[in-house]
Amino acid sequence: MESDVLKIAQEWLAQGRNIALATVVETWGSAPRATGSHLVIDEDGNFEGSVSGGCVEGAVISEAVDVIHSGAPKMLEFGVADETAWRVGLSCGGKIRVFVDRVQ
């Protein structure tokens, strides 16, 4: 699947679309996607791939659109510590760090 995301990124670049690539660079505890997972996003918010899921993925897409416009990469961190996971209604803790950069 990951090679498909990178292939899509190449195709979108060839079409002249402005894109960003989000990559999971670190995980701790329970994380839905492994380190190295990718999400490619264009300036209109279209995307392929996955770095997490749910509201995290939505936040990554939003941040990626900002990165495309600003050109400045971002390191994003999402997670809930194991001690607090149950209190906020999550069955498992975990943390992910996602690097988002514009691709040209």
- The tens digit of pLDDT for each residue in 10-44 reads 999 999 999 999 999 998 877 778 899 999 999 99
The tally of domains found in the chain comes to 1
Which one is predicted more confidently, 80 or 47?
A: 47
- Residue 55 and residue 40: Cα distance in Å, rounded? 17
Average pLDDT, integer, range 1-18: 90
CB 12 within 8 A of CB 1: no
Instruction: Provide the greatest CA pair distance for the chain.
Output: 47
- Residue 9 and residue 83: Cα distance in Å, rounded? 38
Give the structural domain span for 98: 2-103
Q: Residues near 93 by Cβ (< 8 Å), separated by ≥ 6?
A: 29, 30, 79, 80, 81, 82, 83, 84, 85
